[in-house]
Amino acid sequence: MRFITGIVITGFAIYLLLAFIAYLIWWKTDQSIPGSAIVSGPEVEVRNWSGKSGYYLAKMMISNGFGLGAFFIPMIIGSLGLYLLKFPKIKFWSLAAKFTFATIIVSLILSYLFGKADGYLFGGPGGAHGYHVINWLNAFTGKPGTAIILILLTLIYLIFALKVPLSAFGIRLPAFLSFLRSKKKETEFVTGTETGKEPGTEFLYKDIRERRNIDFQIDNRTKVDDSEEYDDYGKRIIIPSGTGSLIHDLDNDQTFRVKDKRADISVNKPEVDDLLPDEEVEKIMENYDPRLDLSHFKFPPVSILKEHRTISAFDNNEVVENKENIIKTLGDYKISIKHISATVGPTVTLYEIIPERGVKLARIKSLEDDIALNLSAMGIRIIAPIPGRGTVGIEVPNKKPEIVSMRSLISSRVFQESKYDIALALGRTITNDPYIVDLTKMPHLLVAGATGQGKSVGLNAIITSILYKKHPAELKFVLIDPKRVELPLYSKIERHYLAKLPGEEDAIITDTQKVIKTLYSLCIEMDNRLELLKAAQARNLKEYNEKFITRRLNPEKGHRYLPYIVLIIDEFADLIMTAGREIEGPLGRLAQVARAIGIHLIISTQRPTTNIITGFIKANFPTRIAFRVFSSIDSRTILDVTGADRLVGNGDMLISSGAEPVRVQCAFIDTPEIEELTEFIGSQQGYPDAMHLPEYIDDNEGGIPDVDMKKKDPMFEDAARLVVQHQQGSTSLIQRKLSIGYNRAGRIIDQLEAAGIVGPFEGSKARDVLCTDFIALEQILRSLE
């Protein structure tokens, strides 16, 4: 629609310009035809090329409007059309302001100079607008005042709109200010004869006026044959080698040679480097837009998600009854309280009590089962004390829990206005506040719980919240699903959001061996990114991308925009059972190092045992989500505290990030909503394929790769010399130095290995270089010819 509108507006601008040109030629002929005849009589023809409508538009804008200044109006309309057509150098609002000001200025100047000009164009070359405004100004300020106003307006337009410097009008403001400062404080420069210097190096400026009166010559071709040094600020200082002395003006970068007080002064003016055209400078200085490749991508509308409305769960009678039962139960055990209050949440109600002085919290904590018996409720949880509140919390499940819809979180102001790098909308707290967190601050997430308690729905909520916030150019998913039933729903967005190994058909990884390759491939990507961050002197991915967007990093040196990568493993325990501990190596490296370069891990398991969630995993996954489990031991394994065993299920979860766990009701999103969401994204234009991760070759698959050396890469010899020179068999080195893609660099490394120049693959380490000098390398290269 925008493209069609742009074409229509551009065509109208051309039509209007033709009408204006024809009006200048045939205005006298067409004016003799009565207006009524032109409107009503089809037999009456006008000479204007654009017909009757063009004649009327031209007459209205030129004669009755701005005169010859009206020729800027088609330019305004045309720039709007080209802007809608997305011409890269068209800045509509800037051009519209300049052309509008020019229309008014030209109209006024022409009317001031020529008036009506004997009826030219009816109202004169300035049109009716200029004629009437000039008459008013003449009456108000007189002709001299009007002339001054027009001159000032013209200067303002030239300076601010056309960027004409003041020096073009003979105005040298910095020189004038310097003259005033020199008159205020005249300085004497005196230097004495130094030991070992030749005579004649003394010079004296008694005042500034004497310095100005000395005759001097400017010769751009003259070179000063003296030795050069540089001061602390990088300014050139020329040291005299013969009679006379040199004065170097550090501000203007000019050198004066003074032989004596009355000697001539020669000035060496350095040449100015060639300047780029303004258009090229603006193009270079424009910020890089990572979304430009998919500029037409539209985020999914909130209307795709369902409300999942339920009848209000708040029952005042239930709350009052629970309060009385809590007070009665505590009283039966001789525990008196000062105050009790209730906060109703979507799933549970929090009752906060303030016990009397001298009551031990351990006594209240031990009454969980007794309070649950008296309230006839399942999953009573006591928080003694609530951190920072000075109260004891008793969480009681509601008899009619509410469903927290994903739509209510996505449309919330907190989520829409969040500035998080990767915002996750997880659910609502007991106080019904949206629980929004930043994945980059976690930086990895462990999700655990028993079967059927909401883990898969929680993963869907995480993915959905990311899809509503991040553009495909800004984030990629690596999805691993050994169960083969949950994550394949997202295969439709493969060309937009997913990443995979080169040559793989499916982006959703289900095979265990492919999982291991993918993890090692991510380690290679991590090492490559760390090299880029080191070269860019950036501490994290956000700083690196900011430098790249603002054009402070050169793409020709291997730099590129780096999207976030989120690795999601749906069933970690199944991978451990089938692949053993082989996956812990690359997974551990990613968990320890990858957060700085924008790779974040989310792993889920339904077996929260110590042989699955090891100490190493817990140390590198400080943020953990626990859905309902069936024993306090499992709760301690996940959260290091009990409580997950007393949840009510159906999305009820505890989130721990090192402090006291927070109880949250997970957002609910159904399978039809996910299908419609992925269908909306998948139906849009995407990239040709999913993002390709670096190629990983397992040593166990067969030593030296099968490479046809008769089809060597054209840059094979350059890469070989580069590797021998640096004594480092690194794919990223070849990629960066030769400015080629990673996959091509990987193929060259395979050819170098087959030729015996570098050693075999050693995981994330650089390969050994088997050639120690260029003589041995040249012998190998000649043998391959």
Neighbour tally for 744: CB within 10 Å? 16
User: Does residue 648 share a domain with residue 765?
Assistant: no
User: Does residue 359 share a domain with residue 411?
Assistant: no
User: Does residue 387 share a domain with residue 426?
Assistant: no
The mean pLDDT of the chain is 79
pLDDT at 205 over 90: no
User: Does residue 458 share a domain with residue 573?
Assistant: yes
What pLDDT digit, counting tens, does each position of 681-715 carry? 999 999 999 999 988 866 554 445 566 677 788 89
pLDDT at residue number 165: 57
User: Does residue 644 share a domain with residue 588?
Assistant: yes
**Burial class of residue 173 (count of CB atoms within 10 Å of its CB; 0-12, 13-18, 19+):** exposed
> What CATH number does residue 393 fall under?
3.30.980.40
pLDDT at residue number 471: 96
Assign 203 a pLDDT band (cuts: 50, 70, 90). very low
Mean pLDDT of 7-36: 76
Lowest model confidence (mean pLDDT) among 12-16, 576-580, 615-619: 576-580
User: Does residue 332 share a domain with residue 353?
Assistant: yes
pLDDT at residue number 445: 95
> What CATH number does residue 723 fall under?
1.10.10.10
Domain count, the chain: 4
One-character DSSP codes across 271-339: PPPPPPPHHHHHHHHSPP-TTGGGTT--PPPGGGS----------HHHHHHHHHHHHHHHHHTT--EEE
Neighbour tally for 367: CB within 10 Å? 20
Examine the fold and report which residue of 134, 168, 202 is the final residue of a domain before the chain moves on. 168
Tell how far CA 577 is from the center of its chain. Answer: 40
509 is a domain residue: yes
pLDDT at 221 over 70: no
Percentage of the chain beyond pLDDT 90 is 29
pLDDT at residue number 625: 96
Tokens matching residue 695: 């190629």
Strand partners, 600: 566
User: Does residue 388 share a domain with residue 513?
Assistant: no
101 is a domain residue: yes
State phi, psi for 28 to the nearest 5 degrees: -70, -40
What pLDDT digit, counting tens, does each position of 549-571 carry? 998 998 888 899 999 999 999 98
User: Does residue 410 share a domain with residue 371?
Assistant: no
740 is a domain residue: yes
User: Does residue 464 share a domain with residue 326?
Assistant: no
Neighbour tally for 104: CB within 10 Å? 17
User: Does residue 8 share a domain with residue 115?
Assistant: yes
What pLDDT digit, counting tens, does each position of 436-489 carry? 999 999 999 999 999 889 999 999 999 999 999 999 999 999 999 988 888 999
Tokens matching residue 526: 């991590």
CA-CA distance, 631 to 610, in Å (whole number)?
13
Assess contact for 752 and 723: CB atoms under 8 A: yes
Assess contact for 76 and 99: CB atoms under 8 A: yes
State phi, psi for 498 to the nearest 5 degrees: -100, 160
417 is a domain residue: yes
420 is a domain residue: yes
Examine the fold and report which residue of 151, 168, 185 is the final residue of a domain before the chain moves on. 168
Lowest model confidence (mean pLDDT) among 125-139, 339-353, 667-681, 712-726: 125-139
286 is a domain residue: no
Lowest model confidence (mean pLDDT) among 25-39, 557-571, 709-723, 755-769: 25-39
User: Does residue 590 share a domain with residue 459?
Assistant: yes
pLDDT at 36 over 60: no
CA-CA distance, 626 to 649, in Å (whole number)?
11
Lowest model confidence (mean pLDDT) among 370-374, 444-448, 631-635: 370-374
Examine the fold and report which residue of 138, 168, 198 is the final residue of a domain before the chain moves on. 168
pLDDT at 662 over 80: yes
pLDDT at residue number 594: 92
665: enclosing H helix or E strand = strand 662-666
549 is a domain residue: no
Neighbour tally for 650: CB within 10 Å? 17
Give the HSE-up count for residue 438: Cα atoms under 13 Å, Cβ half-sphere: 9
Sequence-separated (6 or more) residues with CB below 8 Å from residue 27: 58, 59, 63, 121, 122
Assign 68 a pLDDT band (cuts: 50, 70, 90). confident
User: Does residue 571 share a domain with residue 486?
Assistant: yes
297 is a domain residue: no
Task: Supply the range of the domain harboring residue 568.
Answer: 406-430+454-532+558-682
SS3 track for 576-595: HHHHHHHHHHHHHHHHHHHH
> What CATH number does residue 668 fall under?
3.40.50.300
